[in-house]
Amino acid sequence: MAMPRLRKSASPFRYFNSSDEIIRLVVMMYVRYPLSLRDVEDLLFERGIDICHETVRFWWNGFGPMFANQIRRRRVKQFNGYRHWRWHVDEVFVKINGKRHYLWRAVDHEGEVLENYLTKKRDKRAALRFLKRALKRYGKAETIVTDRLKSYPAAMRELGNLQSREMGR
């Protein structure tokens, strides 16, 4: 009986003539600095890399979300051990097809949106689901800042979360 072959994860850069380092450089230059597509094209041409501004746009559309996910994963691993990690959680009313829904959001101390959750009700059950998702993905926070909604303390008590909670804006 033949052993099944394990397939390596295919590189997302395999169909491009440029190396993955160049693609990463182009996308990061466009994202990190306030440059236009043509500015990136000009800077790379000065370094001996001849690509079109449309190639920069194509690579940004294709690889930008992938790079953002990698950066986000690295940040989460870095901040899991961070002692003073503070979250701000809040909910907002949004109308979808004329019906009121609630968008729950958790934002970290640097302003990065950690988690979004959409519900039809604004109660303890919805807050509990939202907090469970955020805690599962990002681990415990040192402090959670909330508005004065009673659902948050009730959900945190049910989670057995003994972290400090601040009420404020």
- pLDDT tens digits for 59-68? 889 888 888 8
d(CA 133, CA 136) in angstroms, rounded, equals 5
d(CA 108, CA 115) in angstroms, rounded, equals 10
d(CA 12, CA 23) in angstroms, rounded, equals 11
CATH number of 86-167: 3.30.420.10
Tokens 């993905």 correspond to 137
Least confident of 38-47, 76-85, 86-95, 125-134: 76-85
Q: Amino acid letter at 146?
A: T
d(CA 149, CA 103) in angstroms, rounded, equals 14
Residue limits of CATH 3.30.420.10 in the chain: 86-167
Q: Please state the φ and ψ torsions of residue 90, each to the nearest 5 degrees.
A: -160, 165
Q: What is the mean pLDDT of the chain?
A: 83
**What is the per-residue pLDDT for 6?**
47
Under DSSP, the state recorded for 123 is S
